[in-house]
Structure 1
Amino acid sequence: MSPPAHASQIKTRFLIISDTHSAVLSTTTPDNVPFRPPLPRADVLLHCGDLTMLGHLHEYEKTLDMLGGIEAELKLVIAGNHDISLDAPFYRRRGQFMHGLKDPDESIPQKARDMWMGPVAKQNGITYLEEGVHHFGLSNGARLKVYASPYQPEFYDWAFPYHRNQDRFNAPHEATPGADPIAENPIPDFPAIDVVMTHGPPWGIRDMTVRDKMSVGCEHLLRAARRCRPRLHCFGHIHEAWGAERVSWKLGEKLGSESKDSVEEAEEVGVREDRMVEERAAYVDISTGGATPLEFGKETLMVNASIMNLRYRPMQGPWLVDLDLDSQ
Structure 2
Amino acid sequence: MSTTTTTTTSPSDEPTRIKTRFLILSDTHNASPYPPDTSNVGFRSPLPKADVLLHCGDLTMVGHLHEYQMALDMLASIDADLKLVIAGNHDISLDDEFYERRGRYMHRLREQDQSICREAREMWTGEEARRAGVTYLDEGTHTFTLKNGARLRVYASPYQPEFCDWAFPYFAHQDRFNPPHQATPNSVPICENPIPDFPAIDVVMTHGPPKGIRDETHRDEHVGCEHLLRAVRRCRPKLHCFGHIHEAWGATRVRWKDSEEEVGWEGYVEEAEWINVDEEDLVEDGMVSMNISQKGTRGLEIGKETLMVNASIMTHRYKPHQGPWIVDLDLDMNR
Q: Please, what TM-score do these two structures have when normalized by structure 1?
A: 0.96
Match among 198, 217, 222 for residue 206 of structure 2: 198
Match among 127, 130, 149 for residue 122 of structure 1: 130
Structure 2 contact 36–45 (Cα < 8 Å) conserved: no
Q: Secondary structure at the match of 1:101?
A: coil
Q: Secondary structure at the match of 2:216?
A: coil
Matched, 1:246 2:253: yes
> Deviations for 1:87-116, whole angstroms, at most 9, x for unmatched residues?
000000000000000111110111100000
Aligned equivalent of 1:147: 155
Q: Secondary structure at the match of 2:204?
A: strand
Structure 1 contact 176–257 (Cα < 8 Å) conserved: no
Structure 2 contact 21–329 (Cα < 8 Å) conserved: yes
Which consecutive residues of structure 1, in runs of 5 or more, have no partner in the other structure? 1-6
Counterpart Cα distance in 2 of 1:23 and 1:110: 24
Q: Which moved more, 1:110-119 or 1:256-265?
A: 256-265
User: Cα offset for 1:257?
Assistant: 5.5
Structure 1 contact 255–262 (Cα < 8 Å) conserved: no
Structure 1 contact 170–187 (Cα < 8 Å) conserved: yes
Counterpart Cα distance in 2 of 1:240 and 1:269: 15
User: Cα offset for 1:29?
Assistant: 6.8
Aligned equivalent of 2:182: 174
User: Cα offset for 1:55?
Assistant: 0.3
Amino acid paired to 1:67? L
Label 1:60 to 1:255 Cα distance change in 2 as closer, same or farther (>3 A): farther
Aligned equivalent of 1:22: 30
Structure 1 contact 209–241 (Cα < 8 Å) conserved: yes
The percent of aligned pairs where both chains have the same amino acid is 66
Counterpart Cα distance in 2 of 1:232 and 1:323: 9
Counterpart Cα distance in 1 of 2:243 and 2:37: 22
Structure 1 contact 34–281 (Cα < 8 Å) conserved: yes
Match among 2, 15, 21 for residue 13 of structure 1: 21
Aligned equivalent of 1:276: 282
Matched, 1:219 2:214: no
Structural mapping, 1:1-328, within 5 Å: 8-27=16-35, 30-211=38-219, 213-251=220-258, 253-256=259-262, 258-328=264-334
Alignment root-mean-square deviation, CA? 1.2
How many residues get paired?
A: 321
Q: Secondary structure at the match of 2:68?
A: helix
Amino acid paired to 2:243? G
Label 1:208 to 1:61 Cα distance change in 2 as closer, same or farther (>3 A): same
Counterpart Cα distance in 2 of 1:240 and 1:34: 15
Which consecutive residues of structure 2, in runs of 5 or more, have no partner in the other structure? 1-14
Structure 2 contact 23–50 (Cα < 8 Å) conserved: yes
User: Cα offset for 1:280?
Assistant: 1.2
Q: Secondary structure at the match of 1:209?
A: coil
> Deviations for 1:136-174, whole angstroms, at most 9, x for unmatched residues?
001111000000000000001000000000000000000
Counterpart Cα distance in 1 of 2:96 and 2:80: 30
Amino acid paired to 2:203? V
Q: Secondary structure at the match of 2:317?
A: coil
Q: Please, what TM-score do these two structures have when normalized by structure 2?
A: 0.94
User: Cα offset for 1:318?
Assistant: 0.4
Counterpart Cα distance in 1 of 2:37 and 2:156: 31
Q: Which moved more, 1:278-287 or 1:48-57?
A: 278-287
Structure 2 contact 249–310 (Cα < 8 Å) conserved: yes
Counterpart Cα distance in 2 of 1:60 and 1:256: 42
User: Cα offset for 1:8?
Assistant: 1.2
Counterpart Cα distance in 1 of 2:105 and 2:233: 39
Counterpart Cα distance in 2 of 1:29 and 1:306: 22
Structure 1 contact 222–260 (Cα < 8 Å) conserved: no
Structure 1 contact 32–277 (Cα < 8 Å) conserved: yes
User: Cα offset for 1:270?
Assistant: 1.6
Q: Secondary structure at the match of 2:193?
A: coil
Counterpart Cα distance in 1 of 2:147 and 2:92: 34
Structure 2 contact 95–117 (Cα < 8 Å) conserved: yes
> Deviations for 1:32-82, whole angstroms, at most 9, x for unmatched residues?
111010011000000000000000000000000000000000000000000
> Deviations for 1:6-30, whole angstroms, at most 9, x for unmatched residues?
x811000000000000101242772
